[in-house]
């Protein structure tokens, strides 16, 4: 059995602290991939950083903002994605209720073009805040299907796990299970590459209780990885970069990626660390 994993740090360009931490992890070899937010004021500095490291990030399609950060604006004309002030809404549920597939597609085009114009043509795409996965609103299935068709036209892989159980933490509810099966079948028919599974941390520090709980959970996830190439994505940063207990959890994630026990587990399990989950 051959098991491989891509170690990805999400949210490059989100803010200065996160960008600095991810740059250090890339330089140290503790992560093999990163995803770039293109709509942030820090995005240009992030581009200069990864260019100096010889790294091409994935496109972290960003259709909504975040509370606690300066407001982000879309790169293209996307009226259904913005509030009255022209900034991206920080409420994914509100976004799902009003966003049109045309505006989503136009903004994805604009963000992809932005990266290509800077000499960083991505080979894979994922979704900030999960908007493209259809987790919010009644039109979720059509949003995901449209995203997959867009990836096929652009020749891009997409972060959608073939096996969703490790990401979800158990079997999907029946409606989500059916939608997931349809999406995987569509991706295969379009030739869009998907990872075998996806692993991440979905809990804040208050829920975890301590660093060791985070480490034990993710080490256990490594042991259970299926055959093929999977992706583990985390959001390493400094505590002051994110409000509340989420900030502390992100410092624990950065610590985990440097933890000798983590690296010993990868070696003991015979899991190869690679840079991509597509052919």
Specify whether the CB–CB gap between 259 and 234 falls below 8 A: no
How far is Cα 194 from Cα 192, in angstroms, rounded to an integer? 7
**Burial label, 223 (beta-carbon count in 10 A; 0-12, 13-18, 19+):** exposed
| CATH fold of the domain at 3-274 | TIM Barrel (3.20.20)
Among 42, 50, 61, residue whose Cα is nearest residue 112:
61
Could you give the angle at the alpha carbon of 9 between the alpha carbons of 128 and 173, nearest 5°?
Answer: 50
Helix (H) or strand (E) segment spanning residue 198: strand 198-199
Model pLDDT for residues 199-242, shown as the tens digit of each residue? 999 999 999 999 999 999 999 999 999 999 999 999 999 998 98
- Token pair listed for 173: 């509810």
Nearest in space to 51 (alpha carbons), one of 119, 110, 106 = 119
> Is pLDDT of 140 > 90?
no
211-223 and 245-257 are packed helices; what angle lies between their axes, rounded to 10 degrees?
A: 50
Residue linked to tokens 């995987």: 184
Interval 2-27 mean pLDDT: 98
The string of pLDDT tens digits covering residues 160-196 is 999 999 999 899 999 889 999 999 999 999 999 999 9
Q: How far apart are CA 240 and CA 29, in angstroms?
A: 24
Region 249-266 average pLDDT: 97
Answer yes or no: is pLDDT of 39 > 70: yes
The 10s digit of each residue's pLDDT in 46-82 is 999 999 999 999 999 999 999 889 999 999 999 999 9
Cβ neighbours around 85 below 10 Å, total: 7
């Amino acid at each position: 059995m051959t098991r491989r994993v891509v170690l990805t740090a999400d949210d490059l360009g989100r803010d200065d602290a996160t960008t600095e931490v991810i740059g250090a992890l890339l330089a140290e070899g503790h992560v093999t991939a990163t995803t770039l937010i293109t709509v942030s004021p820090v995005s240009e500095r992030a581009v200069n950083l990864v260019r100096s490291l010889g790294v091409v990030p994935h496109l972290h399609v960003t259709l909504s903002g975040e509370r606690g950060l300066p407001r982000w604006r879309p790169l293209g004309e996307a009226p259904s994605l913005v509030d009255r002030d022209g900034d991206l809404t920080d409420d994914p549920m509100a976004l799902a209720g009003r966003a049109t597939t045309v505006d989503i597609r136009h903004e994805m085009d604009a963000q992809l073009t932005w990266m290509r114009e800077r000499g960083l043509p991505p080979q894979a795409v994922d979704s900030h805040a999960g908007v493209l996965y259809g987790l919010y609103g009644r039109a979720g299935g059509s949003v995901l299907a449209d995203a997959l068709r867009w990836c096929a036209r652009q020749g891009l892989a997409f972060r959608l796990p073939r096996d969703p159980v490790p990401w979800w933490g158990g079997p999907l509810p029946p409606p989500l299970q059916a939608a997931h099966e349809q999406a995987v079948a569509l991706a295969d028919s379009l030739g869009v590459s998907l990872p075998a599974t996806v692993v991440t941390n979905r809990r804040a520090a208050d829920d975890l209780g301590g660093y060791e709980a985070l480490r034990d959970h993710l080490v256990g996830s490594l042991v259970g990885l299926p055959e093929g190439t999977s992706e583990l994505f985390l959001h390493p940063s400094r505590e002051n970069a994110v409000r509340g207990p989420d900030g502390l959890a992100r410092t624990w994630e950065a610590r985990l990626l440097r933890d000798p026990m983590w690296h010993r587990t990868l070696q003991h399990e015979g899991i190869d660390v690679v840079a991509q989950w597509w052919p």
